[in-house]
């Protein structure tokens, strides 16, 4: 049989977790197909950038692409519901919750592609140049965030600045932003620890990702190759979540030891204040998406049930 060559586009730099999971998937597919399939990977936006990923894969500019749904909040309403402040505790649980949600609802926005897997970041925390110890400290602070995280920053009174992660190091250098709101592995991967000497643990909101394949390319694959990829979908989702959680712990340790970063834990009373201000976000999301014809309240209920089920394991 003629070798099958596939191109796989990704937008962040090679050492970051979406690219680490890409390389792992490539190796597994090549190994499990006995070398029948080879995957050429393109990290760092070299083939498609973050905003063009979905349309680029649909158009066939890449066979496979990894996208962050938060970068297009209106387009991916169902899967972006995982970005609501619903208490996802870590990336492993978040990834499984996202995969459950996708498989239950099979949202229309993915109808033009084959979804190969999904995964989530660890919950977001604030990384900043100045110490943020109270809700008052965060008010008026310019912080980078995208998607559902933006709503959360607004609720806390911060100024949300939207931009892809890859543009953030320069924005920090120029002082366009004073910090960012994301999962903490970026402290090491993007060397943010060199500029952000404080991490405030808020453990709120994940960013959902999907890996999608061009529909015609998927249809052209032999059944045995399709089966390898289908079998890998849920496994890859869990593997990426576990990798992410371990990597976040490593990044925090490294930031403290190598860059003398201070990690700030909010007191229970202070954390309650932060969380209380977020309650209206989910209610507003339910109202807005019910009006668009989505079973929004049921989606939120399903996410909560899925969190409880996976967290219990």
Taking all residues of the chain, what is their mean pLDDT, rounded to a whole number? 95
Predicted local confidence at residue 195, as pLDDT: 95
First to last CA, the chain: 43
Tens digit of each residue's pLDDT (9 = 90 or more) over 240-277: 999 999 999 999 999 999 999 999 999 999 999 999 99
DSSP 132-172: --SHHHHTT-EEE--THHHHHHHHHT-EEE---GGGHHHHH
For residue 73, name the pLDDT band (cuts at 50, 70, 90).
confident
For residue 148, name the pLDDT band (cuts at 50, 70, 90).
confident
208 neighbors 120 (Cβ within 8 angstroms):
yes
**pLDDT beyond 70 at 27:** yes
**Global confidence as pTM:** 0.91
Question: Among residues 38, 40, 62, which one has the least CA distance to residue 52?
Answer: 62
**pLDDT beyond 70 at 1:** no
Tens digit of each residue's pLDDT (9 = 90 or more) over 177-193: 999 999 999 999 889 99
Tens digit of each residue's pLDDT (9 = 90 or more) over 47-67: 999 999 999 999 999 999 999
CA dist., res. 48 & res. 8, Å (int) = 9
CA dist., res. 208 & res. 225, Å (int) = 26
For residue 219, name the pLDDT band (cuts at 50, 70, 90).
very high
């Amino acid at each position: 049989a003629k070798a099958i060559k596939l191109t796989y586009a990704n937008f962040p730099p090679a050492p970051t977790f979406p690219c680490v999971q890409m390389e792992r998937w490539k190796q597994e597919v090549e190994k499990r197909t006995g070398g029948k399939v080879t995957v050429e990977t393109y990290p760092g936006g070299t083939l498609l950038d973050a905003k063009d990923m979905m349309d680029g894969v649909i158009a066939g500019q890449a066979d496979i692409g990894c996208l962050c749904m938060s970068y297009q909040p209106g387009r991916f309403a169902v899967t972006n519901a995982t970005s609501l402040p619903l208490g996802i505790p870590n990336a492993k649980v978040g990834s499984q919750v996202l995969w459950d949600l996708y498989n239950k609802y099979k949202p229309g926005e993915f109808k033009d592609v084959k979804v190969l897997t999904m995964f989530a970041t660890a919950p977001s925390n604030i990384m900043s140049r100045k110490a943020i110890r109270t809700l008052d400290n965060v008010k008026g602070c310019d912080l980078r965030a995208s998607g559902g995280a933006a709503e959360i920053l607004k609720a806390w009174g911060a100024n949300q600045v939207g931009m892809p992660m890859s543009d953030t190091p320069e924005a920090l250098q120029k002082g366009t932003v004073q910090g960012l709101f994301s999962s903490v592995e970026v402290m090491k991967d993007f060397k943010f620890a060199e500029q952000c000497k404080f991490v405030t643990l808020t453990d709120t909101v994940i960013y959902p990702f999907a890996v999608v394949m061009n529909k015609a390319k998927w249809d052209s694959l032999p059944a045995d190759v399709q089966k390898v990829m289908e079998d890998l979908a849920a496994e890859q989702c869990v593997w990426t979540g576990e990798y992410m959680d371990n990597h976040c712990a490593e990044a925090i340790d490294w930031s403290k030891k190598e860059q003398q970063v201070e990690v700030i834990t909010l007191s229970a009373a202070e954390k309650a204040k932060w969380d209380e201000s977020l309650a209206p976000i989910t209610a507003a999301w339910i109202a807005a998406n019910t009006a668009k014809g989505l079973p929004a309240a049921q989606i939120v209920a399903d996410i909560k049930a899925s969190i409880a089920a996976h967290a219990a394991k």
